[in-house]
A and B are shown apart, each in its own frame.
Chain A
Amino acid sequence: MTTTDVSTLAATLRAVLGDHQVISDRQELRTYECDGLAQYRVVPALVALPRTAAECAATVRACVDAGVPFVARGSGTGLSGGALPHADGVLIVTSQMRAIREIAPADERAVVEPGVINLHVSRAAAPYGYHYAPDPSSQQVCSIGGNVAENSGGAHCLKYGFTTNHVTGLEVVTPDGDLVRLGGRAPDAPGYDLLGAFVGSEGTLGITTEVTVRLTRSPESVRTLLAGFTGTDQAGAATSAIIAAGVVPAAIEMMDALAIEAAEAAVRCGYPAGAGAVLIVELDGPAAEVDAQFADVERLCRDNGATEIRVAADDAERALIWKGRKSAFAAVGRISPDYIVQDGVIPRTALPEVLRRIAEISARHGVRVANVFHAGDGNLHPLVLFDDAVPGQAERAEEVSAAILDICVAQGGSITGEHGVGMDKVSFMPRMYTDDDLDTMQLLRCAFDPRGLANPGKVFPTPRLCGEVPGRRRGVHPVQEAGLAEVF
């Protein structure tokens, strides 16, 4: 866009949103140049802050009319660059659409605007004895809209599932600028599950302006233990034993020695000194069930070599156990000047083998890797540590990070369990999917966004030209013929 084009669009948006809801100042624009992935930075041409669904739709329409791409952003905490702006586009920020519209415990639902912070939903539901189950580690700041875009998980998704299992309704602004409702309070709306397809589509199919979420009855009993092991092999074996025993914990998290060191430095969580690995195992549910299974879990940890087991005696102790794990990513900044947070998934049973191979790669490249992961579902978060000031370390760190993803794919896993593809893993998609697979997914994108204006450049390496149509078209379309549709 030329400077004139930007000014014209800015004027249009100001007329729609109000003066203060459009940002065009150079320095202010630059503060939006990245999300939680600070390695990639692009300054948007404009930033718009709609306050209502109608304003959001009008913003998108203005972008469509101007032929300008748009990127949605919530709290800007994503780790795959999904909210990385387009230099010639508008960054549409939902942080001012942050009302909790309704808490309806009788329906087990809450209706919220996309800018509402994840944890605030649980806080609002708490007085009724409910909570919102998906709990990403950034839940005190990440937005529900962002969670919908990424299909965010969290430590408790082992038992409770991810965002897609907890969203029953959406209002979205389509890339045409129309407002559409998908689903609602009740499940199984007739037609295609566009709701299910939208969750996790990383802003490429539109922008959500209202979310109806499922609320989960808060469990009667929650019991958490922290177990120290000499190494990740033992901790992994304990995990397998617990799963094999038919226990479905609410969460099983593992951290290795390096990650423990970082967490200690940051939040002084008091993890067992000298442990090669720790497991955090949390069980929740009816007291009778939890008591029965907790004893089993303790025994299985001991049987598999736990050197120390600490059971949280109250909420404060439980919070402290979790504090270390939840601060792990940012805490790593205290033991290393720079780091890459990786996110990959492997079949859980392959954990010991994969950790061994990560250690090999780490040693070979001379790059340290701290491991934090959701042991219960095989979702790894290797933290690849390096010092940018040392020549070549950054490159080696990237190589190690990429190699880890290759291992994940080779083991039949995934290149991303939670953080999304965004822009960071676009180049890895072909390692996991064939061209046909990616082409098929993009059929969906073409249906929603034939102009290619919704968050372009994310998720898919090669955009599909939406004019292409598989198969030959013969004569009048049957749906037209049936008098049920028209071609515009």
Chain B
Amino acid sequence: MAGDVLAALRAAAGEATGPADDGARPAGPDGPDAAVVRPAGDEDVVAGVRPRYVAAPGSTAEAAALVRVAAARGLAVVVRGAGTRQDWANPPRRLDLLLDTRRLAGVVEHAAGDLIVVVRAGTPVAELQAALATAGQHLALDTPLPPGAASTVGGVVATNTSGPRRMRYGTVRDLLIGITVVRPDGVVARAGGKVVKNVAGYDLGKLFTGAYGTLGLVAECAFRLHPLPAARAFLTRRAGDAAEAGRLAAAVLAAQVVPSALEVDAAPDGRTEVAVLLEGTPRGVKERAAATRALLGGATVADEPPPWWSSYPWRPGDVGLTLTAALSGVPRLLAAAAEARRRYGVALAVRGSAGAGVLHAGLPSATPPDVVARTVAELRVVAGSAGGHAVVLTAPPQVRERVDLWGPVDGLHLMRRVKAQFDPDARFAPGRFVGGI
């Protein structure tokens, strides 16, 4: 019964810890393990679904022991870091154990000379960046969220979060060079390593990236790093409409200024802005800024980004989408958004990387669900015709009933087979992902 399971979980956590454990053991009224494993409370609800237990392992071994118990008892498991994106994707079909990774934190190894870092998945990204900055380096990954949000490395990997600078540096899949995971059966496995160049075996890091925790728990990640640029500049320019924004973007892409980011922001009131980030040496940035300014036909140059930079165009509870397209199709997406605004009278905001072909769109939570559905369907058609996709990341419950969040998924049957191999009992984040996975 419940107490039975709790005891088993606690025993697993206790067994896994030994004199060598380096995580601080917070003491509690039920003993030293009580804070590691406890019954769930109101604060532990995941997308409206309440788990029964919460466990916060402090090491990979502890996590593995807990997962083994879950496997033995058929518990459905969801992994949570800072919970900043728990409202993304589908709610879990069932949920017994919430694995909290915040104690699974800390930098394991920062080899500055080799430009790599190995870090535990529960580490807040901001903390990691602060540690790397002391050596003049950073993980070149933007993690859009409201200021103060404490996304963890694991969460970023599980949701494949990226921001403006993906254009130059790539995303998690390009920066992750090694991973340690705990499989749903509790087995700990590694893939990749600590060196950037490595083709030994399969790249499981890619498989786990963006998998929303459905294949197992990500315990540790190794990333390649970049030196912090010596100088940077943001150039911003208002555009009259989607077409002009597209032309400006194309001009910057075809030139030789090598932007780190090329963003477009189309607000619901129709105000459209294009912004370019240049990074490099002070002299180089200065000259390239001048060239970019000329390309844009004039722009504001600043040390800081525009206020909308690297943030999603929606508020918690709203509808949020990712829209992707081939680069030449970005103007079409923007135009489709403008058209949808006009036709349905919706306050649709679109914002994102014209340099990577990845945009986000937001609709207020008050938008009628059928209007949302029609808008999403239209955007999906346009994105599809431009070689991309429209995926609804988050939406209020009434919208979820009316909208297919994911759209068409290539290779779904293969994905189901992959899931069946890793998690045959479908216990990890069941139902969260595409195709009911």
A-side residues, CB < 8 A to B, are: 104, 106-109, 129, 150-151, 153, 157, 161-162, 164-165, 174, 180-197, 199-201, 217, 219-220, 240, 243-244, 246, 248, 285-289, 292-293, 345-349, 374, 377-379, 412-421, 425, 429, 432-434, 436-441, 443-448, 459, 469-474, 477-479, 482, 484-485
Contact A482 to B433, CB < 8 A, known contacts A194-B414, A288-B283, A439-B189: no
B174 partner residues in chain A, CB cutoff 8 A: 161, 165
In the complex, A376→B313 CA distance in Å? 40
Residues of B within 8 A of A416 (CB): 198-200
Q: A477-B426, A482-B93 are in contact. List 18 more A-B contacts (CB 8 A).
A: A157-B197, A161-B170, A185-B388, A187-B356, A188-B160, A192-B418, A196-B207, A286-B280, A288-B286, A345-B198, A377-B196, A412-B193, A420-B199, A421-B201, A429-B201, A447-B417, A470-B424, A474-B425
A127-B213 Cα distance, complex, nearest whole Å: 45
Chain B residues lying within 8 Å of A472, measured Cβ to Cβ, are: 425
Residue pairs across A and B with Cβ atoms less than 8 A apart, 9 shown, are A150-B199, A186-B387, A190-B434, A292-B284, A433-B201, A434-B189, A437-B190, A446-B421, A477-B426
Contact between chains at B210 and A379 (CB < 8 Å): no
Q: Which residue of A lies closest to B356 (CB)?
A: A187
Bound together, the chains give a CA A190 to CA B114 distance in angstroms of 33
Task: Report A-chain residues with C-beta under 8 Å of the C-beta of B181.
Answer: 440
Q: Is B226 an interface position by the 8 A CB rule? A: yes
Contacts of B102 in A (CB 8 A): none
- At the interface, yes or no: B187 with Cβ under 8 Å from chain A? yes
Alpha-carbon gap, A443 to B115, bound state (A): 31
Given A196-B206, A219-B256: A244 and B185 within 8 A (CB)?
A: no
The 6 closest A-B pairs by CB, nearest first: A196-B206, A186-B388, A185-B387, A440-B189, A289-B284, A220-B256
**CA A378 – CA B170 in complex, angstroms?**
21
Contact: B204 with A186, CB < 8 Å?
no
Select which of B200, B227, B434 is within 8 A of A415 by beta carbon: B200
Are A217 and B256 CB-contacts (below 8 A) given A378-B114, A471-B184? yes
With known contacts A248-B227, A292-B281, A474-B74, A190–B425 Cβ distance under 8 A: no
**Cα distance, A193 to B409, chains bound together (Å):** 11
Contact A246 B227 (CB under 8 A): yes
Q: How far is the CB of A286 from chain B (nearest CB, A)?
A: 5
**Cα distance A220–B328 in the bound complex, in angstroms:** 22
Also in contact, A190 and B389, with CB within 8 A (given A285-B258, A474-B74): yes
Within 8 Å by CB of A414, from B113, B171, B200, B281, lies: B200
Given A193-B210, A347-B111, A444-B207, decide whether A181 and B197 contact each other with a Cβ distance below 8 A.
no
Task: Say whether A434 contacts B190, CB under 8 Å.
Answer: yes
CA A378 – CA B229 in complex, angstroms? Answer: 23
Q: Does B302 contact A (CB under 8 A)?
A: no
CB distance from B213 to the nearest CB of A (A): 12
Q: How far is the CA of A106 from the CA of B211 in the complex (A)?
A: 31
Q: Could you tell me if B207 and A197 are in contact, using CB atoms closer than 8 angstroms? A: yes
Q: Which of B384-402 contact A (CB under 8 A)?
A: 386-389, 391
Once the chains bind, are A417 and B207 in contact (CB under 8 Å)? Answer: no
B433 cross-chain contacts in A, Cβ below 8 A: 191
- In the bound complex, do residue B188 and residue A429 qualify as a contact, i.e. CB atoms below 8 Å apart? no
Q: How many residues belonging to B are interface residues under a CB distance threshold of 8 Å?
A: 101
Whether B207 contacts A193 by the Cβ 8 Å rule is: yes
* Interfacial chain B residues near A189, Cβ < 8 Å: 324, 389, 409-410
Q: Chain B nearest CB: distance from A36 CB in Å?
A: 16
Q: Beyond A188-B324, A347-B114, A441-B202, is A412–B195 a contact (Cβ under 8 Å)?
A: yes
Q: Is B357 an interface residue (CB 8 A)?
A: yes
When A289-B280, A377-B196 are in contact, do A190 and B409 touch as well, CB less than 8 Å?
Answer: yes
Q: Are B416 and A479 in contact (CB under 8 A)?
A: yes
Q: In the assembled complex, which residues on chain A have CB atoms less than 8 Å from the CB atom of B193?
A: 412-414, 432
Q: Is B257 an interface residue (CB 8 A)?
A: yes
Contacts A182-B410, A293-B281, A478-B93; is A448 near B417 (CB within 8 Å)?
Answer: yes
Residues B204 and A440 in contact, CB atoms below 8 Å apart: yes
Knowing A194-B415, A197-B202, A200-B203 are in contact, say whether A447-B434 is a contact too (CB < 8 A).
no
CA distance A96 to B230 in the complex (A): 49
Report if B358 contacts A (CB, 8 A): yes
CB distance from B327 to the nearest CB of A (A): 5
> Chain A residues with Cβ under 8 A from B150's Cβ?
none
Which residues on A sit within 8 Å (CB–CB) of B329?
107, 186
B120-174 contacts to A (CB < 8 Å): 136, 160, 170-171, 173-174
Are the C-beta atoms of A199 and B197 separated by less than 8 Å? no
Q: How far is the CA of A453 from the CA of B431 in the complex (A)?
A: 32
Tell me the bound Cα distance from A186 to B191 in angstroms. 27
Residue on B nearest A479 in the bound complex, by CB: B436
Which of A197, A240, A425, A434 has a CB less than 8 Å from the CB of B113? A240
User: Which among A174, A186, A286 has the greatest number of chain B C-beta atoms within 10 A?
Assistant: A186
B288 within 8 A of partner (CB): yes
B327 contacts A108, C-beta separation under 8 Å: yes
Taking the closest CB of chain A, its distance from the CB of B23, in whole angstroms, is 23
Q: Which residues of A contact B337 (CB under 8 A)?
A: none
Establish whether residues B173 and A193, one from each chain, have CB atoms under 8 Å apart when the complex forms.
yes
Contacts of A419 in B (CB 8 A): 199
Which A residues lie within 8 Å of B194 (CB)? Answer: 347, 412-413
* B421 adjacent to A349 (CB under 8 Å): no
